[in-house]
A and B are shown apart, each in its own frame.
Chain A
């Protein structure tokens, strides 16, 4: 079968103004009638009841539009996106963009869940507490850890929770001043450096050895009586699993430090390997990635932070506990780091993840890992021979896991077409931009792809064919590829430099007006 490649793809291009620019003074979406006399009399002076400090002196600066124009504005914008569920999103390496069953959206939309309020008495929310409890049992089994909290609002937040727990642990021992360094690796998720830094630790980063595995000799040189912990991802962002991870844990433990395993994306090892057996004291999962709940568009996300009994006293409160008859929220944890988020975290994500996990079953989780690794290696094999394309640490004899960090460096040297150009061109085939890598680019001209278990062989073949086609285009007519995209909604940023200039960039209309007015 020939892979489908959408050569005649053409995205809508509306050149849509900012909604403020569409404003027509006096236009209204909804005309609310004045209440009749009786209601007015009963209500009295409504505004007068507002505290003075909360009353506006002037009307807010909102755009004025009819309902129809608001609707068409946002429909235009939606047609100019290339997101999940509309495109082949193998592109988003490290993001685990698997397909998420629609039935779970029905579940969270059910009023029996959707209309719960986190301030309700715990007697009236026993159902969702039970789901928290049950899902925590599942996560404990998957990680091998003793305790878990779902309070963090995402992966980075869970890693920050880990850093806070490490800080509380050393403070409780009176050694925080001495144990002030956290070690990480260059291909770990950047939050493994950023979260400890935010929690006040010094960050020590290890580079890889020639095989692309974190340099164990560098670790030996790095550990000392100052080591508070190591925060490491595995498999790392380049898709290589560190086979000596237990040695890393041993070296850090021997130096007196704690070990945190970043398992944001667990797709490669569900049911295969556990943090506990590798010797770790803590780990986390991005529930919204591995466990079949949608992400992107800034959420909602959830980070499950797991730890061994020794660290459990420091977990955030409240804890969901079960006394054999009823579920309770337990705030009585004097050594707790406190709350890291309001209430109980993102309950909707937990409900969807619980439903997904129950649908999959234990064997299904293991199959998820197997298929995602097979998909990735199938795609890697098909990518072989595409001119100008290579991948990081080729020939190191280590099988790639769930993703690969490719490099367009040969193409760049041959034609001047680099990864940013290919990335612009890929949109012309109806495929969303791919993930290059974090900065700085340790692997030059990077492209990181992650074909999860939910992609069909057609999806994989389509992706490879598009990549092959763009490579051929680059060799035949580099200027054409460098001028891409040609068929996408938005062309190019007209002023790249301004994104680096705080005097110019603006993320709100108010900031834009303020910065352009002067």
Chain B
């Protein structure tokens, strides 16, 4: 059966970067970027990604929105796309991305390939959630979301593997919400916005010597088992469980309804609070032994200050750092490319105390000693 690839290009993604505007969100910024002589980046990157799918021509149907939102790029890459929807040429808005993603999902695409930045990823997330596999082609000014391939070609290559049914697994990757206004003023204020289902590149030819690497699922289960053992050993302690899919695996294994994007509380293997804020955390952990369980958020190595601001410097000071449990799969640590884990709690003294070396729980009774920097 012919495979369907949905293509969405945010034509303005990345325009702010070249002229130093740290993003392209907001109509004003876009006007400013255009006035400063910014040139569209996204179309070129879209064509580059699509060039990887060349030899599937004929066996692949590309469905796209008109003109600069995908049609033009597909044609430039030599494809005859099926065009749906309508846009106001030259004046596309985030709502167009949302509409396009919804339409393409309804048409039953096998993969949504979108070209843009963090804002584009959020629009796609708003439209489809985790109901259809998606993958980002990086074109944005700054990309904090983990739903993007490293390069346009890598994205194209992975998309091709999905079309050829050579991708064995899909996993949840973070979509981040960065406040661009704050970012321009030199502050990073972000939260975890949600997750998209992205293809995992597991099609490696394996040398039999190493056997096959355990899949993400197995690694997450092993990490969860390690943390649950600690919970069982300390049934009277409070466990503050931060956001993310790695920590969600713990809740899943316990059969608890945790919140994916919020902070939950576990005591005696029972859920005793969900989506709690800083004030709650301070009250509930007052005068009792507590443990903080967090994971690496956003694909850049942050363990504090991105997506889990509820676990504030005051909370950390109160519960003490000896109780910290950082959890992440080995794959996730490898994806940091040797870069350190990062902390940005907003309190320089706390950041200093968190810096140095942390033990990261990567499996059952399995830990990595890893560098942490502010």
Contact = CB atoms under 8 A, between A and B. Distances in A.
Give the interface size bracket for A toward B. Answer: 35 or more
A498 B169 CA distance: 10
B338 A207 contact: yes
Interface stretch (B10-18, B208-216, B309-317): B208-216
Interface string A223-243: 000000000000000000000
A95 B367 contact: no
A424 B212 CA distance: 18
Interface string B242-286: 000000000000000000000000000000000000000000000
Given A193-B366, A501-B168, A441 B52 contact: no
Given A441-B334, A442-B334, A436 B368 contact: no
Given A221-B356, A496-B166, A499-B212, A207 B370 contact: yes
Given A210-B338, A435-B209, A440-B331, A218 B215 contact: no
A222 B367 CA distance: 10
Interface string A427-444: 000000101101111101
B154 interface: yes
Given A208-B338, A442-B334, A203 B367 contact: yes
Given A208-B338, A440-B330, A433 B368 contact: no
A497 B166 contact: yes
B207 interface: yes
B156 A416 contact: yes
Interface string B344-374: 0000000000001101001001111111000
Contacts of A498: 168
A197 B212 contact: no
A483 interface: yes
Of A436, A496, A497, most B-chain CB atoms within 10 Å? A496
A473 B338 CA distance: 31
A423 B369 contact: no
Of B166, B203, B215, B369, most A-chain CB atoms within 10 Å? B369
Nearest to A218: B369
A130 interface: no
B55 interface: yes
A289 B370 CA distance: 33
Given A190-B210, A496-B168, A218 B371 contact: yes
A217 B357 contact: yes
Nearest to B214: A439
A113 B207 CA distance: 34
A218 B357 contact: yes
Contacts of A221: 356-357, 369
Contacts of A197: 365-366
B156 A435 contact: no
Interface residues of B, number: 42
Interface string B143-166: 000000011011011000000011
A500 B205 contact: no
B216 to A, nearest CB: 10
A204 B357 CA distance: 13
B215 A500 contact: yes
Nearest to B357: A221
B255 to A, nearest CB: 23
Contacts of B168: 496-501
Contact of A186 (B169, B206, B368): B368
A415 interface: yes
A413 interface: yes
Interface in B273-331: 330-331
A416 B205 contact: no
A373 B22 CA distance: 49
B262 to A, nearest CB: 29
A423 B203 CA distance: 13
Contacts of A133: none
A433 B54 contact: no
B367 A413 contact: no
A250 interface: no
28 contacts: A95-B209, A197-B366, A201-B365, A204-B368, A205-B369, A206-B369, A207-B338, A207-B371, A217-B357, A219-B369, A221-B356, A222-B359, A413-B153, A416-B154, A416-B156, A420-B203, A423-B205, A433-B205, A433-B207, A435-B207, A439-B210, A440-B330, A496-B202, A496-B203, A497-B165, A497-B168, A499-B168, A500-B212
Interface of B: 52, 54-55, 150-151, 153-154, 156-157, 165-169, 202-207, 209-210, 212-213, 215, 330-331, 333-334, 337-338, 356-357, 359, 362, 365-371
Given A499-B212, A500-B168, 6 more contacts: A204-B359, A205-B366, A415-B153, A423-B205, A440-B330, A479-B54
Interface of A: 94-95, 186, 190, 193, 197, 201-208, 210, 215, 217-219, 221-222, 412-416, 418, 420, 423-424, 433, 435-436, 438-442, 444, 479, 483, 495-501
